[in-house]
Amino acid sequence: MLRSKRARKTVFAIFWYIVLGITAVAVMLPYIWMLSTSLKGSDEVFAYPPNWIPRTWRFQNYVEAWNAAPFGRYFLNSAVVALAVTIGQLITCSLAAFAFARMEFKGKDVIFALFLSTTMISTQVTLVPSYLVLKTLRWLDTYQALIVPFLANAFGVFMMRQYFMTLPRELEDAAKLDGCGRLRFLWQVLLPLSKPIVASQALFAFMGNWNSYLWPLIVTTSEHMRTLQIGLRYFVSQEGGTQWGIFMAATVFVSVPIVLFYLFVQKSFVEGIATTGLKGA
């Protein structure tokens, strides 16, 4: 009886592995197709039936793609913007979270409710006026336009506040006795104790900004201010839509760095989504 039950379990396990394996391969196929096409010359790109493995590997596609548009500049723009937004958000969020978690002041509940209400208002809804604000400030097509609107994040404030509230109150009393001010206490005591939440907030901010599309599309007008995502789109649409080997090479160097980055940090990222996605807001 016991043996047959164990045998049945093994059979099921093998079956489930096969199901999971097939879906995993299916999920990976578009990436493999991208890599494969990125190494093909135009004769092979347009060949029917298509090969999954190119007969001759044409690495020249990558060089040509890199030189056909200012991708170096796009990378720089994306990196500057994503880093500035990430660091800026960590500063504004931790300051606000500290006030909500550790201080008593008039109007606290009202302000907190107002902060939370911003999560209900999406960029799409405020797109036109935000654009007009930047136009009035003469900030269109500048780094400020890509960075400043994203320097506050209510969700980040909420998550950090929740974390700060779990840290013991006695820390503060000890710090006060030592004559440590609030800012120094936040910077030297609270933040180092909150590494997990700081890390996942930083990741969300960085990835979200790196991948963003609609906002950089409308606030950048000149080629040298485009971010990587916008640059890729214009590259593909301007070349007339035929150079697929080169397009795929460009897509590889746009998408692969963030995938590699993710593989290094995936644990805290996935945990972050699992906790914030469920218990957030």
Q: Restricting to residues 119-138, which ones interact with another protein according to CB under 8 A?
A: 119-122, 124-133
Site for another protein in 34-63 (CB under 8 A): 34, 37, 45-50
Q: Which of 42, 118, 162, 268 binds another protein (CB under 8 A)?
A: 118
Nearer to another protein, 151 or 171 (CB): 151
Site for another protein in 135-194 (CB under 8 A): 148-149, 151-152, 154, 157, 182
Full 3-state SS string of the chain: CHHHHHHHHHHHHHHHHHHHHHHHHHHHHHHHHHHHHHCCCHHHHCCCCCCCCCCCCCCHHHHHHHHHCCHHHHHHHHHHHHHHHHHHHHHHHHHHHHHHHHCCCCCHHHHHHHHHHHHHCCHHHHHHHHHHHHHHCCCCCCHHHHHHHHCCCHHHHHHHHHHHHHCCCHHHHHHHHCCCCHHHHHHHHHHHHCHHHHHHHHHHHHHHHHCCCHHHHHHCCCHHHCCHHHHHHHHHHHCCCCCHHHHHHHHHHHHHHHHHHHHHHHHHHHHHHHHHHHHCC
Site for another protein in 186-245 (CB under 8 A): 207, 210-211, 213-214, 217-218, 228-230, 232-233, 236-237, 244
3 lies in the binding site for another protein (CB under 8 A): no
Site string for another protein, 75-114 (x = CB under 8 A): ----------------xxx-xx-xx---xxxx-x--x--x
The distance of closest approach from Cβ of residue 120 to another protein in the complex, given in angstroms and rounded to an integer, is 4
